[in-house]
Structure 1
Amino acid sequence: MKKGLVVLGMVFGLYLIARALAEPFVIDLSDPASYRDDWGGPSLAGVLLVHCGPGVVSAVLIGRAVDARWRRRTQTRLGRGDTRA
């Protein structure tokens, strides 16, 4: 069950990251009418915060999880008699 939730969370997080990367290309940054009615509107900063913010948070959380797993695996290998640094 836990692995399923982790996979589901990773897929959702990757979706948010992809959406955050695509958002500046989807809206016309020089035309306020293209994003005025979007969530976070009518300001460009609000729209980008609402649409890109969750992707940035997801990227940070996924990066921390991958780093923690990498460090844990490295510590485990070094603890078994492998003296390489």
Structure 2
Amino acid sequence: MRRTASVVGLVVGLYLMARAIVEPFVIDMTDPATYRNDWGGPSLLGVLLVHCGPGVLSGILIAVALRRRRVRARTRRPE
């Protein structure tokens, strides 16, 4: 069960990261009309925080989890 939750979390996190990478290219940052009605609008900062923030947070959490896993694997090895 824990492994399934980890895989689902990883897939969702990778989706959010991809969305965060693509979002600045999808909207025209010089034209407020393209993002005015989006979540976080009407300001550009709000739109980027709402659309890119979860991807950045996911990247940080995935990196922390992978680092912990690597440290745990290193300490379990017999020498």
TM-score (norm 1): 0.90
Greater C-alpha radius of gyration: 1
1:15 alignment partner AA: Y
Q: Write the distance in 2 (CA, Å) between the matches of 1:3 and 1:66.
A: 14
Q: Write the distance in 1 (CA, Å) between the matches of 2:8 and 2:46.
A: 28
Q: Write the distance in 1 (CA, Å) between the matches of 2:6 and 2:72.
A: 17
Alignment length (residue pairs): 79
- Give the superposition deviation at 1:2: 1.4
Q: What's the Cα RMSD here?
A: 0.6
Instruction: List 4+ stretches of structure 1 deviating above 6 A.
Output: none
- Ranges in structure 1 where 5+ consecutive residues have no aligned partner: none
Q: Write the distance in 2 (CA, Å) between the matches of 1:76 and 1:24.
A: 43
SS at match of 1:25: helix
TM-score (norm 2): 0.96
* Aligned-pair identity (%): 59
